[in-house]
A and B are shown apart, each in its own frame.
Chain A
Amino acid sequence: MNESFVLRDVRFNNRIFVASGTFGYGDEVAELVELDRLGGIMTKSLSLKPRDGNPPPRITETASGMLNSIGLANIGVHKFIEAKIPALENLACAVIANIAASTVEEYCDVLELLDPYKRVDGFEINVSCPNVKEGGLSFGTDRTKVALITKELRKRTRKPLIIKLTPNVTHISEFARAAEAEGADAVSVINTLIGMAVNIHTKKPRLSTVTGGLSGPAIKPVALAKVFEVYKSVKIPVFGIGGIATWEDAVEFFLVGASAVQVGTKNFVNPASAIEISKGVAEYCVHHSIDNVSQLVGSLNADTGVSVIQSWL
């Protein structure tokens, strides 16, 4: 059974990845998880300079999910190169560097610093963080900015370039098309949804930044519809993300059009969950006499033309 997945010159072990911001830089969990059973690791977002992140409280649990406002706390690209790349050298899965920035130039600088390193197999560009004022959503909700960033980064790398999109827009498919038109190899759909929670006793928001990003099983139906919309709009592969907690969830994403998936919040509960999901998907394929996971992609058994989404594509 063929589980592999190819983007440009990179062949991934399988189609199950771990989402940025939910697995550190990959080295922290090596003692708990067989990383070679993963397609790849999307690193914590890297910026040019280290970032402290937002003040506490940064997280709170909600019904079937959680809100976070980490604010891109990270060690910065230089420390990543110095301390993390050597530690990841012998890892038997791909490492995709996720990049966050507050200017187009900063995205380019970080990518150019990382591009020479063989250990960095590709890039995922975060234009969708809901918890910082500069960069993040101000880019991700502006189609011309998404196009510009993709175009500038495309000039600077031959490695896989993946644009991570926000669901906090009216039609995510327009943003996916903008990325595709400027040479992105894939899009990641979706980052977190803006959300809020309030402590009624203190009348204070539960996060220091008032609003945060919602993730976890609560957002899975939204994410599935966004992946479906994007799959119907572009030819490049889609990484499906949003509330994947079981292998059944992953199969659902493949069926609506994801070529690969990323496990996020579930890693906080069980760092080995992506491995368990990859095993479950493989067993499902064997059971259904599917010899290549790619056969699942977009194989939804329905007349999708009746969906309201089709009317705005």
Chain B
Amino acid sequence: MIQEHAPIYTVKEIALNIFQLSFLSPSISLGALPGQFVNVRVEDSAVPLLRRPFSISSVDGEIVSIIFNVIGLGTKLLSQKKPGETLDVLGPLGKGIFPFDDEEYRTALLIAGGLGVAAFPFLISRLPSSKEVVSFLGARSSSYVVRHGLKNVRIATDDGSEGFTGTVVELMKMFLKENPVDRPRIFSCGPMPMMRALAELSLEKNIPCYVALECEMACGIGLCQGCPVETVNAGKKYNLVCKDGPVFEIRNVKF
């Protein structure tokens, strides 16, 4: 984990109101693992005060990128950054990562709702070439679909403007019914209702499933204790999303 002022490389809108920002960081790019995140100081200011956590979306040489939706002041300011400016970044953070390089599975089923997709380009880039990949993306409509960096993409939209009309978990369920899958493992990230549905599906189909959780955070390194997630681990009611996660086995999480 390091804290540094990294030079910004590019900032671009890649879908409606969705931006990708990349910065140069030899040390973060060297140390990062799929599922980890960075905690970004938008401005040296009292408003916004706290850092903003973002999944590491891709690592290309020494260039690290994040993807974000413009929601509030912090992300708005971030979207207005210019190449050449610096960004105060703390990372790579998180001990819970996507288990991606073992021999226990052969097919990586990636499933994301909305910007839950952010962590997947990095994960895909690190998967051993022996793995099959199928990516399932859910979005409100086609203008919000971010397919950048993904492989073998299947899309579900709420309004039917692209792909399957319905939820992304329903789409995956249909896929699993119609296609034989060799030793699958699910990697996921998305909003709560999707996670609940996925927890049920993975249990029913007995497929190991890992989830990257999102949570409002202050420090991102365990100091504030502000991002608990209730888990079924014995002896300890809560784990911290920032330090123990952000990736957990879905069956250990109480939704």
Contact = CB atoms under 8 A, between A and B. Distances in A.
Interface residues of A, number: 36
B228 to A, nearest CB: 5
Given A64-B47, A65-B49, A217-B49, A272 B3 contact: yes
A58 interface: yes
B228 A267 contact: no
Interface string A64-94: 1110101001000000000000000000000
A217 B227 CA distance: 22
Contacts of A22: 223-224
Most buried by B among A28, A29, A73, A268: A268
Contacts of B1: 31-32
A268 B224 contact: yes
Interface in A20-75: 21-24, 28-29, 31-32, 44, 52-53, 55-61, 63-66, 68, 70, 73
Interface string A1-37: 0000000000000000000011110001101100000
A267 B219 contact: yes
Nearest to A28: B222
Given A32-B1, A268-B223, A271-B221, A56 B228 contact: yes
A270 B88 CA distance: 10
Contacts of A125: none
Contacts of B217: 59
A257 interface: no
A269 B41 contact: yes
A11 B218 CA distance: 32
Contacts of B48: 61
A216 interface: yes
Interface string B219-255: 1011111111110000011100000000000000000
B216 interface: yes
A66 B223 contact: no
A245 interface: yes
A29 B221 contact: yes
A64 B225 contact: no
Interface string A271-305: 11000000000000000000000000000000000
Given A58-B228, A70-B226, A268-B223, A52 B3 contact: no
Given A31-B1, A57-B216, A52 B237 contact: yes
B50 interface: yes
A61 B224 contact: no
Interface residues on B, range: 20 to 34
A53 B238 CA distance: 8
A84 B29 CA distance: 31
A298 to B, nearest CB: 27
A32 B4 CA distance: 11
B225 A53 contact: yes
Interface in B193-224: 215-219, 221-224
Contacts of B224: 21-22, 59, 68, 70, 268
B49 A58 contact: no
Given A63-B47, A66-B218, A269-B41, A29 B228 contact: no
Interface string B23-57: 00000000000000000010000111111000000
A163 to B, nearest CB: 23
Given A59-B218, A268-B219, A216 B3 contact: no
A151 B3 CA distance: 44
Contacts of B227: 56, 58-59
Nearest to B41: A269
Given A52-B238, A267-B219, A268-B219, A61 B3 contact: no
Interface in B156-179: none
A94 B171 CA distance: 58
Interface in A190-249: 216-218, 245
Given A268-B50, A269-B51, A58 B223 contact: no
Contacts of A270: 3, 41
A73 B228 contact: yes
Most buried by A among B41, B48, B228: B228
A58 B226 contact: yes
Contacts of B49: 61, 64-66, 216-217, 265, 269
Nearest to A23: B223
Nearest to A52: B237
Interface of B: 1-3, 41, 46-51, 215-219, 221-230, 236-238
6 contacts: A55-B230, A56-B230, A56-B238, A64-B49, A73-B225, A216-B49
Given A59-B226, A65-B46, A245-B46, 6 more contacts: A28-B222, A29-B223, A61-B218, A65-B49, A68-B224, A218-B46
